[in-house]
Chain A
Amino acid sequence: MQTLTYRFPADLAPRRRVHVGVVASGDLEILLDNPPGSDVDTHAEVRVRTSVNGFDTVWHDVLERFFTHTPLSGRWQLNDFGATPGVVTLRLRQVVEAATRTEDQT
């Protein structure tokens, strides 16, 4: 297991906290929230815990690409159980959808 932390500039505030996914084989769960009193209004603080060691560069590149396109701020927690970059990106997009929807629905 490896823990990685990243910080990206981000100025788009999530409308709500979001949880997607499962720590299952080939999948990951993502939690995004915006705890009061932190400086995560202007940044995305990302903490990744992954079961697969040695993919620091891949994680950095996937996340950097995502936050360049989608500067969604807040505290991000990714609990990964061997998801491929494609699955990671899919889960990230799900978070964006849920966090930026205007109507309050499940």
Chain B
Amino acid sequence: MTAPTGATAPTGIDWQQVLRRRSFLEYDARARARTLLDEGSMRVLCGPFDRLESPWLEPQGVVPQADDGVVIARGTVDDQAVVVASIEQGFLGGGIGEVSGAKISQALCLAAADSRVGRTTAAMLLLETGGVRLQEANLGLNAVAEICSALLELRPLAPVIGVIAGEVGSFGGVSIAAGLCTRLIVTPQARLGLNGPAVIEEEGGVEEFDSSDRALIWAIDGGEQRHATGLADMLVPDDADALRAAVREALAAGVLEPGSHRSERLDAFASRLASLDPARPPSPADLRTLWGRATVPAPAQEAGAAKPTAATRAASGDSRGQTWLAALADGVQAKPVIPSVLRADTHDAVYLAVVADPSNPFHRARQGQVGLTECLALAQSIRQVLDQDADAPSKRAIVAVVDLPSQAYGRIEEMAGLHQAIATTVDAYAAARVAGHPVVAVVVGTALSGGFLAHGLQASQILALDDPGVEIHAMHKPAAARITLRTMEELDKLAKTVPPLSYDVHDWARLGFCDGLLTVQNANTPSDADCEAVRRSIADAIDHARGGPTDLSNRLDSAAATKTRAASRKVRQLLAQQWTESTAESAEDGPAHGPG
């Protein structure tokens, strides 16, 4: 794919064109959506007058927006049906909450449903977001998992085009969705990454990432770099006409062959990782030469962090993840896929856990964080099970044993595209679920943020131990307090009335996506009775998964969800209703809008 004129070097800038252009970046979310659609074809669904506000903001003293900061619109591009989800970056930094997330995932689900019955509807995702909205923490995190699942449902049927124009760029969990898109369009003003620079600095110190170093941020996360290293497909200048042309081209190219999406190319990902030496990380400029734009695997190379170099090096320690993996696999010896990813195969299930590896060559992933190599090892293991069971009458269960501090917050991780690495894992888990493998997650320790999105949140059944050491959240408490401008005490107090904010597993279980809170005597050193009870619960969950839906809809239909996720359910119902009503119509939406 070629970039339109003017997108390349500064020397190539045509100033006349720059002066004539209409800056896309200056538009709000609605104007961006309108600009990319055929003129007069836009029809907004669940718009501001439906007043689908977030129910969680006012109780926290935050002013809501009437459409919760996401514009959903149907329309056409070159007369082809398209649905657009455009995130308003001005509202809470584009953060994804319960309502805005449900709007996006439902729009993708409805497009998939229409595409299945011959009314092919493509999608455009205009991503400008800091990621999960921390005021709605756990509901936002789950919303991202649902967006990824719905995107993967649509992607084989119709193209899903991601557009990141700037100024906010795309960070956090939503960037995983960007990594799943059929094609990704960026401008030089776009940024794309999993962990924002400030978060890495908070978690890893200024020597890990200096968030005041603008040049460094752009060299790593910037649109030009992501394009040059093959993590985005098209680089387009900030020009509304050029972006519209790019979108037309991307949509006209249609869907990709199964197996050829960036998030499915484990061979290319593995060969890229093998060329990366964490002890001598390349500069961002060197990475362009090292990797280039190609997504096909490079010739086999010597050395490599991705290789299980130290299969003999037993991952030491006695973390909960290891303890429970051993307990649940019932006598089967867990083997390292790589030292930090353990796998145990029983006759009817495959257990996977990410564990600490003090000698991990990637130093930010030594305590059990989900980093680049962990994502690859997980994805490869899952894909292998998928291939082996392709013709099996009963597919083996995949059980994610979850005890992980978070994703890896590091400079080399961002440079190499941790969002893309997690996308491969998310893609693999979702593919297994859709193929009919019962996918069960059992949270035995901490399950935080992007780590949980990678390893756990694509499961069709999620179990958690009822234990104070079990903590599920979108961000570590100190960081969440800093970013929402609160003290930790204030956060704890708010969490009592706003359940998605809570770090308490009981509150998490009230959100609607817990399929079992398991009582154990000792979560650190489980007794035989504890192990037996949890094994039985997993067996039940596997049965449920076999008989249940292969999407994530049970997270909306559970008893807890009907209560706590009332807003999600209302969004889904209203959007479906308006979708049906709009099917026959094609006119511009009702209310008049000012130029703002």
Cβ of A25 < 8 Å from any Cβ of B?
yes
- Are B64 and A79 in touch, CB under 8 angstroms? yes
- Counting CB contacts under 8 A, is B591 at the interface? yes
Q: For A49, what are the chain B residues with a Cβ–Cβ distance below 8 Å?
A: 58, 63-64
Q: Taking the complex as formed, is B410 at the interface, i.e. its CB lies under 8 A from any CB of chain A?
A: no
CB <8 Å contact, B592 and A16: yes
Complex Cα gap A79–B91 (Å): 11
Across the interface, do B58 and A1 meet the contact criterion of CB distance under 8 Å? Answer: yes
The complex places the Cα of A95 from the Cα of B91 at a distance, in Å, of 20
Q: B62 and A1: CB pair below 8 A? A: yes
- Chain B residues whose C-beta falls within 8 Å of the C-beta of A25 in the assembled complex: 90
- CB-CB under 8 A from A91, the residues of chain B are 594, 596
Whether the pair B49, A29 counts as a contact (CB closer than 8 A) is no
Task: Provide the A1-41 mask, 1 if CB < 8 A to any CB of B, else 0.
Answer: 10000000000000011111111110101010100000000
Look across to chain A and name the residue whose beta carbon is closest to the beta carbon of B42.
A106
Say yes or no: is A99 at the interface (Cβ < 8 Å to chain B).
yes
Separation of A70 and B61 alpha carbons in the complex (Å)? 31
Q: Is the interface of A mostly helix, strand, loop or mixed?
A: mixed
Nearest neighbor of A15 in chain B, beta-carbon distance: B592
Q: Give the distance to chain A from B54, nearest Cβ to Cβ, in Å.
A: 11
Interface residue? A59 (CB, 8 A): no
Residues of chain B in range 426-463 having any CB-CB distance to chain A below 8 Å: none
What is the size, in residues, of chain B's interface with A at 8 Å between Cβ atoms?
A: 24
Residues of B within 8 A of A18 (CB): 591-594
Q: Which residues of B561-596 are within 8 A (CB) of A?
A: 588, 590-596
Cβ–Cβ < 8 Å partners of B594 in chain A: 18, 20-21, 91, 94-95, 97-98
Does B88 belong to the interface (CB within 8 Å)?
A: yes
Of all chain A residues, the one with the shortest Cβ separation from B62 is A1
Q: Please tell me which one of the listed residues B29, B66, B592 contacts residue A104 in the complex, with CB atoms under 8 A apart.
A: B592
Specify which of B47, B90, B588, B595 is in contact with A24 (CB 8 Å cutoff).
Answer: B90
How many Å from the CB of B173 to the closest CB on chain A? 22
Shortest distance between the CB of A26 and any CB in chain B (Å): 9
Contact present for B88 and A22 (CB under 8 Å): yes
A23–B48 touching, CB < 8 Å: no
Cα separation A17 to B596 with both chains bound (whole Å): 15
Residues of B within 8 A of A50 (CB): 63
Does residue A89 face the partner (Cβ distance < 8 Å to B)? no
Q: How far is the CA of A16 from the CA of B592 in the complex (A)?
A: 7
Closest to B28 in A: A22
A99 touching B64 in the complex, CB below 8 Å, given contacts A17-B49, A19-B47, A31-B49: no
Q: Taking A29-B48, A106-B588 as contacts, is the C-beta distance between A23 and B65 under 8 angstroms?
A: yes
Q: Inside 8 A of B69's CB, which chain A residues have their CB?
A: 23
Does A101 lie at the interface of the complex (its beta carbon under 8 Å from any beta carbon of B)? yes
Q: In the bound complex, do residue B63 and residue A51 qualify as a contact, i.e. CB atoms below 8 Å apart?
A: yes
Contacts of A101 in B (CB 8 A): 592
Digit string of A71-97 for contact with B (CB within 8 Å is 1, else 0)? 000000101110000000001001101
Q: Which bucket holds chain A's interface residue count?
A: 20 to 34
Given A22-B65, A29-B65, A98-B49 contact (CB < 8 Å) = no
The smallest beta-carbon distance between B282 and chain A, in angstroms, is 37
A27 and B90 within 8 A (CB): yes
List, in ascending order, chain B residues with CB within 8 A of A104's CB: 592
The residues in B between 5 and 22 inclusive whose CB is less than 8 angstroms from any CB of A are: none
Contact B66 A77 (CB under 8 A): yes
Contact A24–B596 (Cβ < 8 Å): no
Contact at A22–B63, with CB atoms within 8 Å?
A: no
Indicate which residue in A17, A24, A51, A105 contacts B591 across the interface (CB closer than 8 Å).
A17
Measured between C-beta atoms, what is the minimum distance from B45 to chain A in Å? 14
> Could you tell me the distance in whole angstroms from the C-beta of B510 to the nearest C-beta in chain A?
25
- Name B91's contact: one of A22, A80, A99 (CB within 8 Å): A22
What are 19 A-B pairs at a CB distance below 8 A?
Answer: A1-B63, A17-B591, A18-B593, A19-B47, A20-B593, A22-B88, A23-B63, A23-B69, A27-B90, A29-B48, A29-B65, A31-B48, A49-B63, A51-B61, A79-B63, A79-B65, A94-B595, A98-B593, A98-B594
In the complex, besides A23-B90, A24-B90, A106-B592, 13 extra interface pairs with C-beta distance below 8 angstroms are A17-B590, A17-B591, A19-B49, A21-B594, A22-B596, A23-B64, A23-B69, A27-B90, A49-B63, A77-B66, A79-B64, A95-B594, A101-B592
State the 5 A-B residue pairs at the shortest beta-carbon distance, nearest first: A24-B90, A94-B594, A20-B594, A23-B65, A1-B61
